Amino acid sequence: MDKKNFTLPVASKCRTFISFYFRNPQTHTNIRFRKYVPKSTQPELWNNTLHTMIEDWTLKLRSGYNPFSEQQEADRAASPYYVAKIVQQICDERVAYLRTKTKSTYQSKVTIFTDWLEKNNYNKTYAADFTKDDADKFLKWLSDTNGRNVSPTSRNTYMVTMRSIWKTMQTKEIVRKNPWTETTKIKENRLGKLPLKAEMKKTLIRAFAKEDPELWLFVQFMYYCFIRPGELVKLKVGAIDLDDEKILIDADISKNHKSEYVIIPAPFAQVLRELKINKYKHNYYVFSPDKCPGEKPYSKDVFNRRHKVFTDRKGYNRRYTLYSWKHTGACDVAMKGANIKQLQMQLRHADLQTTDIYLKSLGINDMKDIRQKFPSLT
């Protein structure tokens, strides 16, 4: 290897091309380049052309030619965009089709990225020149305590978002390579799902009923109907059908963007009848700051915070969250022998495998039938 990070060109054994190696300045690996000899039926002309090519390329390499710079220039010609500009442009195109909450989250990630570009002197960097090393620097800054100090999950979400944006650049033929496809996810230290223990459940129910009846109603929706907090704060009175004892989770509020029904179990149907929930206007939110169905909804985190007040007071592990009521309901009904297909429908899972994985994550591995009904070999 030459001091200038290349080898001199040589003819191939078949004499159809010449080749040389050049060190990639980014990966520091030696890449082989081939230059093919124009075809000719005259052997002498072929040989002369071959030798001429070797001489020309030797001179070119020794004069400072860099095939990687040439590639970058070609990319720049195809992509006269500064990276921050094109990322923002693609973001603007996408948010028009996103839901309000998703739109806000997406825009926030892009803003944080473009701000980082500016603060780190990438203002005049072309999209085609943004490398894996640059991507890794941004991801490291996200995780660093002196940077954003985000969780592994958030860091990975940023990576996936940027990977998707660069894929769009490729589709638009703005760049040829996607540096984010070479970056890797880091292990996410997810906290396991925790259903509430029987005694904890009783203690909290007593406290809710006495001090925060609205929160008590909220957790009953979660426990019996498996409705997520983010969906529940947007639920309207008109979605509750007490005649058929079911609730419509509309696509506009559903996590999976599908309109699906959940049943109202008998004990909870009686609670809702006693509250005369259907006497309110159908377009009212079930939960509102009026402490009864009203025109304005709560924000998603209101009930999370109120629930945390009770769990903190009791000194419970922080993994016991508002969401634990949904997990607890699923565990309780599964342990009572509920049909797994019906449970899948109530949980609004896409398939039975998802439900099976979910139950196992909650510690439900019911082998009672196998223990009691497996026939003896003797």
Measured N-to-C along each axis, helices 198-211 and 213-225 cross at an angle, to the nearest 10 degrees, of: 140
Please report the pLDDT score of residue 347 as a whole number: 94
Q: What's the token pair of residue 176?
A: 């040829």
* Full strand arrangement of the beta sheet holding 17-23: 10-11, 17-23, 30-36
Query: 301-314 and 198-211 helices cross at what angle (nearest 10)?
Result: 120
Helices (H), the chain: 43-62, 67-78, 83-95, 100-119, 132-143, 152-171, 198-211, 213-225, 229-232, 266-274, 301-314, 324-335, 340-347, 352-361, 368-373
- What pLDDT is attached to residue 133? 92
pLDDT of residue 3: 53
Q: Please give the domain boundaries of the chain with CATH numbers for all domains.
A: 10-65 (no CATH), 83-182 (1.10.150.130), 198-370 (1.10.443.10)
Tokens of 312: 């903190």
Half-sphere exposure of 372 (CA within 13 A, CB side): 4
Residue ranges of the chain whose pLDDT lies below 50: 2, 77-79, 367, 369-371, 373-374, 376, 378
pLDDT for 370 equals 38
Longest dimension (CA), the chain: 102
